[in-house]
Structure 1
Amino acid sequence: MAKKRKKITIAVLAVVSTLFLGACSTAPPKDPENICNIFEERRDWWRASKAMRDEWGVPVHVPMAMMYQESSFRSRALPPRKYVLGFIPWGRVSDAYGYAQAKTMTWDDYIRETGNRRGRRDDFADAIDFMGWFISKSQQINGVSKWDAYAQYLNYHEGWGGYQRRTYLQKQWLVATSRRVDQRSLNYAGQLRGCEERLNRGWLRRLLFG
């Protein structure tokens, strides 16, 4: 009996340690192709994503697919550099930054409208909330469904005015990228349907019952 209690105690400590380290980690998830594995590894991301869904009515798989495309889930991602004469580094192509690759002006709009003045672009919870806000605004302004990852990504990349002017029609690479985002969103949605119940279990219940 004592041995059994000792094993349970060790297992509990291991889970707590894993959860603590996961919450502190800023490294990209090990398996970004599988949203279940992402959220199993980063339980704090799942909680933040559910909070975003509750706040903005945006399905989790859409901004997650967009974030994968934008930063590969790197907290301090930056856009490519510009070069003078083809080899001299000269700044960045834009001031986008963080998980969501949010541009400064758009991020400032988000802060002003939501009051999230302590928000940071390199914090996942703030970044996913920003994307939920943007997707919701795209629906309001351009009538794009929150479940339509293809059109949402075009809005995200070109801006609401650019989408209205259909600037993406001159960028076939962007259209192709948006289709990849849409396919990944569908993949994520299917995966999430199979694991959401487990993700919603508390850590102790998962430890005891799997």
Structure 2
Amino acid sequence: MRRNRWRSRMKWYGLPVLGVVIGTWATLRFSLLAPDPPVNPDDLCDIFREHTAWYDYAYASQERWGTPIATQMAFVYYESSFRSHARPPRTQLWGVIPWSRPTTAYGYAQALDPAWREYLEANGDGLFTVRTDMEYALDFVGWYNHLTHRQLGIPYHSPRRLYLAYHEGRAGYARKTFARKPAVTALAVRVRNRAFRYDNQLKTCEQEFQCWRWYQFWPVCR
């Protein structure tokens, strides 16, 4: 009798308890254990020295999709300031009560829900493919710019134009919606300048990150 009662309780409570366990694990894995933003975000060499895996992720995205490493990192700098769980600030109801957020942008790359769903459909909807993981955020940036390059003909070495299409969407870029938004066009110039500065910095230190594993040696690191 007692055994049947325990079986009945497990039947009713087992799944909710399992859900709590999984939710707690996910919180620890993707929130509490998320890396801090880099101490010196103005120097790409220092960023990669602090978060060495980020170089590997950016390099893999560049090889797969074509967007230069420095451009990817400039995008993330201006989208989230390298904060894994960044979201747009909430609006306020009557100027006092925290209300809804203006967009669904989330994570390092501030990917919107529709664009992220499209990315998952195109590249595999994995359980751990999340916007708060730098590996997938950089791959998303590369994938998005690859489609921009293919559909709009914007070259990979033009971070300003790539960012305008990223910010406004490819359809918005085609309609030149940015022409009526001086703040956006100014931001795109800052992205370009940072991308070029990051690129010059990376040229002085990239060898460090190509040969950092014990089994690698110059000049055959990759």
What TM-score bracket applies, with the shorter chain setting the length?
0.7 to 0.9
Distance 2:124 2:117 in 1: 10
Please point out which of 22, 39, 58 is paired with 1:30. 39
The higher radius of gyration belongs to: 2
Please point out which of 19, 32, 54 is paired with 1:45. 54
Distance 1:205 1:34 in 2: 27
1:185 aligns to 2:195 (yes or no)? yes
Q: Which amino acid aligns with 1:152?
A: L
What TM-score comes out, normalization by structure 1 length?
Answer: 0.83
Query: Once the two structures are aligned, what percentage of the paired residues are identical?
Result: 37
Pairing of 1:26-175 with structure 2 (within 5 A): 26-118=35-127, 119-175=129-185
Distance 1:116 1:54 in 2: 21
Q: Which amino acid aligns with 1:166?
A: K
Structure 1 segments, 4+ long, off by >6 Å, are none
Q: CA offsets, 1:160-209, max 9 Å, x none? A: 00000000011000000110000000000000111111221124489xxx
Q: Which amino acid aligns with 2:116?
A: W
Structure 2 runs not aligned, ≥5 long: 1-32, 217-222
Distance 1:86 1:155 in 2: 32
| Number of aligned residues | 183
Aligned-residue Cα RMSD (Å) equals 1.5
Structure 1 runs not aligned, ≥5 long: 1-23
Q: Which amino acid aligns with 1:64?
A: M
1:199 matched residue in structure 2: 209
Instruction: Find the residue that maps to 1:48 and give its secondary structure.
Output: helix
